Amino acid sequence: MALTFFWRCEGTTLDGTDDYTLGDSTAGLINSGAIEAAAARVGTNGLTAPASAAGGGGFNLADNGIFPGTIAAPSDLVCSFAFSMKWATAVASASGAAAGFKFQGTVANDYIQVLTTNPGSNLTLGLRNSTNGLLSLTTTGSAITADNWFGVVCRLNFATDDRKIEIYDASGTLVDSAEDTSTDLASYVPADIKTTAGMILGQHSGTHAQATYFDNFIISDAYDAPLQNNLTITSATEYSEEISALTNQQLQFYRRPNTLLRM
């Protein structure tokens, strides 16, 4: 398992050392999205979705790159993705709006996306196929509060029908999660993930009257990558994943650096 993308949100151009990408290295800011110091959880800057504007940064995708699956037919997708977020002064009041991370299909109603609930103290991992509708997996603990940083981690494996969303507080403690391993996901696979602007990061509802801040977007090609342990790193060279191996019916964990970052 390996890293496919890491953006520190220090600027719109990813550098070759502290950021990491297997594809597009330039964020196209959209909907008044801004790189600024007020949005930083770590480092100097973060990504702001301003009050009453959707915000965000778009990236282009290609097969065997950032997206850990086939963009024309993503039923082979196995991945985990994560980001940090903070509702600046109030949690969102809209349901079903963008909340930080989206893989977008050619048709608007084909997507993999984190969505708000009402109120935004919970979040939803949404899978949508334009023909078959939306499948939601929603946290229920109301763990997210305004003016605090939280880490959001999502996990997907279409082949094994596994999906999970996790929320971590600023100390790295898991405070809420939801998981489903029984629903047949075949009907909810997006028809495709588009190549141009197929990944949109750091959005919120344009009706939200307060800013939302985002930092450290990460994608791995492994379902169980410990992205929560990497939410506050300041360089891709610090990124690491834990591998689990079953020996004498006991899970033993060890940490190794991502070899791709040594190339």
Return the CATH number at 69. Answer: 2.60.120.200
Instruction: Specify the pLDDT at position 255.
Output: 31
CA angle, 257 then 262 then 46, to 5° = 75
Q: How far apart are CA 233 and CA 236, in angstroms?
A: 7
Tally of domains within the chain: 1
The boundaries of the domain holding residue 189 are 3-262
Prior bond to 119 cis, omega within 30?
Answer: yes
Residues in the chain: 263
Residue 247 CA, chain-centre distance (Å), reads: 32
- Summarised one tens digit per residue, pLDDT across range 130-164 is 999 999 999 999 999 999 999 999 999 999 999 99
Distances in whole angstroms, Cα of residue 88 to Cα of each of 3, 47, 51, 91, 145:
29, 12, 9, 8, 9
Tell me what the pLDDT averaged over the chain comes to: 91
Say whether pLDDT at 107 is over 90: yes
First to last CA, the chain: 16
Is beta strand 78-87 parallel, antiparallel or unpaired with respect to 98-104? unpaired
Segment 187-211 mean pLDDT = 96
* Spatial separation of the C-alpha atoms in residues 64 and 76, rounded to whole Å: 12
pLDDT band, very low/low/confident/very high, at 246 (cuts 50, 70, 90) = very low
> Does residue 74 sit in helix, strand or coil?
helix
Whether residue 262 is predicted with pLDDT greater than 60 in this model: the reply is no
Write down the pTM of the prediction: 0.91
pLDDT reported for residue 94: 85
Cβ–Cβ < 8 Å for 217, 201: yes
Quote the CA–CA distance of 127 and 156 in Å, as a whole number. Answer: 10
Residue with tokens 């109030």: 90
Instruction: Band the pLDDT of 93: cuts 50, 70, 90.
Output: confident
Residue 256 pLDDT exceeds 70 = no
Quick check: 258 pLDDT over 70?
A: no
Confidence of residue 242 (pLDDT cuts 50, 70, 90): low
Mean pLDDT of 27-51: 98
Question: Does residue 244 have a pLDDT over 70?
Answer: no
**Residue 44 confidence class, pLDDT cut points 50, 70, 90:** very high
